[in-house]
């Protein structure tokens, strides 16, 4: 485990993506974290950008020493970065959504040897929204619960990871949610959880207008996870 006084060396997996770029931009403003490797699926156009080495996923074995990996890629990218983290005994923060059951099981297995934190949404607002949804579901047992999510037209998975996570909280409260998804324009991410009863309804809405909220949350999680023992963690564990 790294010493708490050190700067934490971070590997970004999915570096060329929308989230990867936001993470690298915000990482540059942190004194406690330093990017030491950027990994993407394709071969990088430039090997080194502003002193940061870029790697294709096929070159993962050659990345320098790092203290924590942050992964925002696609489900089929998970195995390789998880394998590297286990091999090197390093924690993994992942925001990748749309994981299969076998992807989830691989995270559980890795968590027996390294700290692993997966969150479908790293914004503070959605973390709080989960609590509100579970409470509303508990209080409104006979009402219908529906979750509507809207995202940019390049998003591949539906329903979004956030919608499914909010749905799981609704189920914990006793609701049986249904889902609807919209893909349009450049919407960063919007989620509405609706509870409808006879003659009235409640809508709990979260709108993200910048990916920076997700990136900031993931960086915060990475700094925290670097000091934890092996195990499977959630964002809520950071708030205890």
Ligand X SMILES: O=C(O)C1=N[C@H](C(=O)O)C[C@H](O)C1
Q: Judging by beta carbons within 10 Å of its beta carbon (0-12, 13-18, 19+), is residue 142 exposed, middle or buried?
A: exposed
Query: Pick the catalytic residue: 2, 13, 61, 151?
Result: 151
- Angle (CA) 233-177-164 rounded to 5° is 30
Site residues for ligand X per CB under 6 A: 97, 120-121, 151, 155, 160-162, 189
Q: Provide CB contacts within 8 A for 209, sequence distance 6+.
A: 188
Query: Which parts of 117-156 interact with ligand NDP (CB under 6 A)?
Result: 119-122
User: How far is the C-alpha of 95 from the C-alpha of 78, rounded, in Å?
Assistant: 11
Q: Is 2 a catalytic residue?
A: no
For residue 74, the partner it binds in ligand X, ligand NDP, none, with Cβ less than 5 to 8 A by kind, is ligand NDP
Output the smallest distance, CB 227 to ligand NDP, in A.
Answer: 21
- The token pair that represents 209 in the structure block: 């207008």
Query: Which parts of 189-218 interact with ligand NDP (CB under 6 A)?
Result: 214
Q: Bridge-partner residues for 33, per DSSP? A: 8
Q: At what angle do helices 124-139 and 161-172 cross, to 10 degrees?
A: 30
77 is a site residue for ligand NDP (CB under 6 A): yes
Interface with ligand NDP by CB under 6 A: which residues?
14-20, 40-42, 57, 72-74, 76-77, 95-98, 119-122, 157, 161, 214
Annotated binding site for NAD(+): 14-19, 95-97, 119-122
């Amino acid at each position: 485990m790294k010493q708490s006084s050190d700067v934490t060396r971070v590997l970004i997996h999915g570096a060329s993506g929308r989230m990867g770029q936001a993470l690298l931009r915000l990482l540059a403003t942190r004194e406690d974290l330093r990017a030491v490797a950027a990994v993407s699926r394709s071969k990088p156009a430039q090997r080194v950008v502003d002193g940061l080495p870029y790697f294709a996923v096929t070159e993962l074995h050659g990345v320098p020493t790092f203290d924590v990996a942050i992964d925002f890629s696609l489900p089929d990218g998970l195995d390789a970065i998880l394998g590297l983290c286990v091999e090197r005994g390093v924690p993994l923060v992942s925001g990748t959504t749309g994981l299969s059951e076998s992807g989830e099981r691989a995270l559980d297995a890795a968590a027996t040897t390294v700290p692993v934190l997966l969150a479908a949404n790293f914004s503070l607002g959605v973390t709080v929204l989960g609590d509100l949804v579970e409470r509303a579901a508990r209080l409104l047992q006979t009402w219908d619960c529906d979750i509507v999510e809207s995202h940019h037209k390049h998003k591949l998975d539906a329903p979004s990871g956030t919608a499914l996570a909010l749905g799981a909280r609704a189920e914990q409260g006793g609701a049986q949610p249904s889902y609807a998804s919209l893909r349009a324009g450049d919407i960063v991410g919007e989620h509405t959880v609706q509870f409808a009863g006879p003659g009235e309804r409640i809508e709990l809405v979260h709108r993200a207008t910048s990916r920076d909220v997700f990136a900031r949350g993931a960086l915060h999680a990475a700094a925290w996870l670097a000091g934890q023992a092996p195990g499977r963690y959630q964002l809520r564990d950071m708030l205890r």
